[in-house]
Amino acid sequence: MVIKTLLSIEIILMIYMGGTALYLLFFAIASLFPIKQKKADHIETLRFVVLIPCYREDEVILEVAREALEQRYPADKFDVVIVADAFEEATIHALKKLPLQVMGVRFEVSTKTRAINYALRQLPEDTYDAVCILDADNIMESDFLHKMNQALNQGYVAVQGHRVAKNINTSFALLDAISEEINNQIFRKGQRVVGLSSALIGSAMAFRYTFFKQMMQEVEVVGGFDKELEIRLLRDGHAIDYVDNSYVFDEKVQNAKVFSRQRRRWLSAQIHYFGKSFLPATKAFVTKGNIEYFNKAIQYVQLPRILLIGLVSLFALSSLVLGIPTLTKWWLILWGVTIAALLLAIPRQFYIPETLKALFFLPVGFFFMFLSLVRIKGANKQFIHTKHTYNAFQIKRKLFFHQKP
């Protein structure tokens, strides 16, 4: 009886993980094809506000601020606004010497949504057509606003840019960079190729200003800011575009401690929004045919990839050791599907010796991801800050995987 129960549980897990692997494989294959973009009848030069909410980011913000001002976009058509939460006075003083707006604040409870809403309330009415959201460590390529402008002129109210790593200086940073590129291929480019919306990341994204301001008035979350925006947009029938050749450079985690803390926050947000959206999304799919909303809920129920590959490998290995022919065959097939999906989604620039070395750290990443899952309780109810320290002013122009369009 016990053996039958364990076998049933294993089969259920196989079906669950198999569904995730097939989903990843489908969109990994789709990502190999180009996105069909709309053509705008008229391109208007929108007036942007580049909004950078920050919390104790004194070490990186000056570089980010200077770079944000270097856009190849009409200078009278964009402003840079930094919400400097709990910054040192010397940093604020230095920022005020630059041609941008600094909003020095100290929130009792700091969150990204609180900083963004504070800025939106302070900005003058009817001044901007679009808003671009960056993180405190993000550096836009010089034509980023130009490409966001083109996408917004195609009729979208929300556009996600292509966020890439600005550092690959450790094995963990390289794995994090690869992970983000897999996300870009599967959940952004692949989704857009088949006509679905791109996933949001939380930065390197642009919105129609009035629409965004109205939506944000109802948003107050601690973690999962991007997921909150996604479900609101897709629930209400708005598509999210993705511009694959619009780059924003982002710092990747450099060690296991930061990796664990960051993934704990992400896992908590994913579980929270699965619980929040699955039943309403299913109802919207059945009654209104809203496949976009339902597809997003399906994404939330999936295992994170590092857990997927770790668990599939463990089950396949244990089946081989225990000598269960039927289960072994299916676990090996599932392992092959998972590996194929990930390999197809990794850009060819990452097929280098450094990546092979970094792969030896995957078991460490799996352990910390599993630890994050065990310790996940309450993570979505507290602000977990990932401090940025990496100065990438020179390296961002030399990244081996960055290709000009």
- The verdict on 22 and 60 lying in the same domain is no
pLDDT digits (tens, 9 = 90+) for 364-390: 777 777 666 666 555 445 555 555 565
CB–CB of 62/94 below 8 Å?
yes
What confidence score (pLDDT) does residue 154 get? 93
Query: For the segment 27-59, what is each residue's pLDDT rounded down to a tens digit?
Result: 999 999 999 877 777 889 999 999 999 998 888
On whether the CB atoms of residues 91 and 49 are closer than 8 A, the answer is no
Domain that holds residue 219: 48-253
DSSP 194-244: TTPPPPP-SSSEEEEHHHHHHHHTT---SS-HHHHHHHHHHHTT--EEEEE
**Closest to 331 in 3D by CA, of 306, 364, 307, 309:** 309
Q: Is residue 103 in some structural domain? A: yes
Rounded Cα–Cα distance for residues 347 and 338 (Å): 16
**Position with higher pLDDT, 389 vs 212:** 212
pLDDT of residue 398 exceeding 70, the answer is no
Q: How confident is the model at residue 128 (pLDDT cuts 50, 70, 90)?
A: very high
Same domain (yes/no): 190, 297 = no
Q: Which helix (H) or strand (E) holds 12?
A: helix 2-30
Q: Same domain for 10 and 91? A: no
The DSSP string of 159-185 is EEEEEEES---SHHHHHHHHHHHHHII
Band (pLDDT 50/70/90 cuts) for residue 327 is confident
Q: Is residue 371 part of a domain?
A: yes
Ramachandran region, residue 378 (left: φ > 0; alpha: ψ -120 to 50; beta: rest): left
pLDDT of 248 reads: 95
Entry pTM: 0.89
Of the pLDDT bands very low, low, confident and very high (cuts 50, 70, 90), residue 306 is confident
Distance CA 32, CA 142 (A): 26
CB 160 within 8 A of CB 397: no
Q: Rounded to the nearest 5 degrees, what angle is found at the Cα of 392, between the Cα atoms of 391 and 395?
A: 145
Domain identity same for 242 and 275 = no
Report the chain's C-alpha Rg in angstroms: 22
Please state the separation of Cα 99 from the chain's center in Å.
29
Mean pLDDT of the region 226-243: 95
Place of tokens 């790593």: 165
Tell me, what amino acid is at 223?
Answer: G
Please, are residues 64 and 218 in contact by the beta-carbon 8 Å criterion? no
Would you say residue 191 lies in a domain? Answer: yes
In the structure encoding, which two tokens stand for residue 345, read together? 């989604």
Tell me the average pLDDT across 146-156.
Answer: 95
Give residue 405's pLDDT: 36
Residue 308 lies in a domain: yes
Considering the domain architecture, whether residues 95 and 238 belong to the same structural domain is answered as yes
Residue 155 domain flag: yes
Whether 224 contacts 273, CB under 8 Å: yes
Do 138 and 57 share a structural domain?
Answer: yes
Residue 174 shares a structural domain with residue 282: no
Distance set, CA 193 to CA 26, 93, 201, 214, 402 (Å): 11, 46, 18, 29, 21
**394: confidence class by pLDDT, cuts 50, 70, 90:** very low
Using CA atoms, how far apart are residues 17 and 332, in angstroms rounded to an integer?
13
In the chain, the number of structural domains is 2
Q: What is the mean pLDDT of the chain?
A: 87
Please answer whether residues 366 and 306 qualify as being in contact, where contact means their C-beta atoms are separated by less than 8 angstroms.
Answer: yes
Is the distance from CB of 272 to CB of 380 less than 8 angstroms?
A: yes
Q: Average pLDDT, stretch 126-134?
A: 96
Which pair of structure tokens corresponds to residue 20?
A: 């995730």
Q: For 286-302, what is each residue's pLDDT tens digit?
A: 999 999 999 999 999 99
